[in-house]
Chain A
Amino acid sequence: MNVLSRLQDIDRRWLYLALALSCLVPFLVTIRLPVYVSPETRSLYEAIDRCPKDKVILVDSAWDAGSLGENWGQVEVVFDHMLRKGIKFIVISLDITPLGPQFADKVISKLVKTKYPYRKYGVDWVNLGFTKGDWQAMQQIAKDIRRQFKRDSRGWSLDDAKHLPLMQRVHNIDDIYMIYSVTYSPMENWIPFVHGVYGTPIGFGCAGIQSTTYYRYILSKQLVGMLVGVRGAAEYDALLYPNVRERQSLGTQLIVPQAFGHTAIIVAVILGNVGYFAARKGERKVGTRR
């Protein structure tokens, strides 16, 4: 067995170490790489930017710790955009995880504390909390949001004008400009049950590995845009902050480690194939000698 053929039998612990180091190095050394903004990210950005002042955006933030690496950045950049422009929004968490509202709260409170201290809960945004129901809940929300949510996540009635002035002008789908659903794998039922019936634009934020099933909706214009994994969050951040030094979202922080991690996997696959072909060549030579 020659040296090259041993490349296909590298102990997996060396691979784990190489992957860990390649993801760790960008956290220790500042490396900046250019970001290419994809069409689906740009169209989502432009759709949110066009939101009229008298409408709100409904954000279905149904993710938790498992997909935090990808979804945190996706909601962070969109919340940043809406808080900056004064676009009012309502956060819900539909069906998938009851921890969704808390993680959304964490992202918003961090943004409000660091960048937008003048934005107020109840005036600029409301978190209605978790609900179950899939497409049934989507229909209820579209017809009358108070059929599905009686109170917000803090316990105040939706008709409480003192604590929730924003909700006094939000009743049904007519008051909602757009729906942005962020989770590991957003529910496609938003498309037939809301976009199909009322024409409301829908945008998704999803894990990279799940995105391949949603590209067809963008082609058919049933989805107005999509943020794909960490890349989508970094691209949206690049649109929000053209100056790279101003970008602080989790997507921008993680895109370089992800780049190095992908590169490490590609190098590992190439090495494995080099070893495979070297071993095959060696076997053929042995076969010829015999």
Chain B
Amino acid sequence: MATRRRLIAAVTFLAGLYYFLEFIVPPIIPWRTVQGEVVKVSSKAIVVRRTDGQIVSVPIRDNIIAYRKRPTGAPERVEPKSLHPGDQVSIGPTTYLSDWITDVNNFFVVLGAMAWGMGLMSLWMVHSANIRKRKEEWYGSVLFFVAVAIGVVAGLGYGAESGVLKRLNDVVVNDVLRPMGSTVFSLLAFYMASAAYRSFRLKSREAILMMGSAFIVMLGQIPIGLWLTHRLPEPLWLPVMSQWILYIANSAAVRGMWFGMMLGAIAVGLRFWLSLERGAFFGKEL
């Protein structure tokens, strides 16, 4: 058990270390980077005029990479031989970290996709146990398996031009999922109305301020707000006041909130990276 925990911690650390290094370490070895304007391109070397005016010849080898500056200022990696005179470049030996980013990204994309499969497996185990042990409302678990089977078969029809599978796909997505999904989310409107009616009471100055800005923003979002105030000067139109609240007051508050949240996220991320968290996988810190 301790070996497994240590293995998980080691893999977690290495994965995080790669992304951290790939972010902070430049793609080209800094003290051997040549920056400047391309003067001449040949099959064996790139001649660059550096920013201090010096002309340098960089031999083309397998470990040499080049970054050309786009018109927007962002760098793009190009083959050294595809450079042209006049290009602004940074050229030199690679640190190899960025070379692997595509493969590492692909690995994590696959890992993320596996999480979907794990979710399905987990549901399978729970619902099959319900049916096997005839737990309360076990027939719901039978319906779950029937729905999964129908969904899988219907999914095969996506992208088809015609046929039974396409018709099944259209029925499942347009006539079942779409109205059911919309219905479930529509229920929120009634819950919110009831909750707002019961809980929004003007019990303090802060509550009055919150209620006032909520009314202005709610009315500013709908045409009725403009209809009510369009005869007033434009700064007093409800949509205009609503925009001020959202752009100025709200943005300031959200920026402060997110700044704090991101600092917390960095702290939590560091704890996960260094496996300092206690939780489902770790009985104690390593």
Q: Give the interface of A toward B (CB within 8 A).
A: 10, 12, 15-16, 19-20, 23, 33-36, 38-39, 64-69, 99, 101-102, 106, 129, 131-134, 136-137, 139-140, 143, 147, 153-155, 174, 197-199, 208, 211-213, 215-216, 218-219, 228-229, 231, 255-256, 258-259, 261-266, 268-269, 271-273, 276-277
Contacts and interface: CB of A to CB of B under 8 A. Distances in A.
Contact of A266 (B218, B226, B247): B218
Chain A interface helix/strand/loop/mixed: helix
B31 interface: no
Contacts of A231: 221-222
Contact of B243 (A38, A155, A268, A271): A38
Given A212-B250, A272-B197, A273-B200, A262 B109 contact: no
A204 B6 CA distance: 42
Contact of B223 (A36, A106, A140, A266): A36
Contacts of A198: 70, 72, 74
B177 A259 contact: no
Nearest to A219: B251
A14 B154 CA distance: 41
Contact of A102 (B158, B211, B243): B158
A213 B254 contact: yes
Contact of A136 (B109, B185, B211, B221): B109
Nearest to B186: A69
A12 B194 contact: yes
B185 A272 contact: no
A71 B194 CA distance: 25
Contacts of A132: 109, 112-113
Contacts of A256: 223
Given A273-B202, A276-B201, A265 B223 contact: no
A153 B237 CA distance: 46
B164 interface: no
Contact of B177 (A65, A218, A258, A261): A65
A66 B181 contact: yes
Given A12-B194, A262-B222, A136 B182 contact: no
Contact of A16 (B101, B194, B198, B227): B194
A135 B159 CA distance: 26
Given A132-B112, A256-B223, A15 B193 contact: yes
B280 interface: no
Given A140-B102, A219-B247, A65 B190 contact: no
A162 to B, nearest CB: 16
B255 A216 contact: yes
Given A266-B215, A276-B201, A261 B189 contact: yes
A208 to B, nearest CB: 7
Nearest to B190: A16
A216 B254 contact: yes
Contacts of A271: 197
B221 A15 contact: no
A64 B243 CA distance: 28
Contacts of A69: 182, 185-186
Given A133-B105, A147-B102, A33 B227 contact: yes
Contact of B254 (A212, A263, A266): A212
Contacts of B146: none
Interface string B18-54: 0000000000000000000000000000000000000
A264 B72 contact: no
Nearest to A197: B74
B182 A65 contact: yes
B12 interface: no
B11 interface: no
A64 B177 contact: yes
Contacts of B178: 65, 68
Contacts of A229: 221
A126 to B, nearest CB: 13
A72 to B, nearest CB: 10
A168 to B, nearest CB: 20
Given A136-B109, A153-B158, A255-B223, A64 B181 contact: yes
B96 interface: no
A216 B262 CA distance: 15
B224 interface: yes
13 contacts: A35-B223, A36-B226, A65-B181, A67-B185, A106-B174, A132-B112, A133-B108, A140-B105, A153-B158, A154-B161, A208-B221, A216-B255, A259-B223
A262 B221 contact: yes
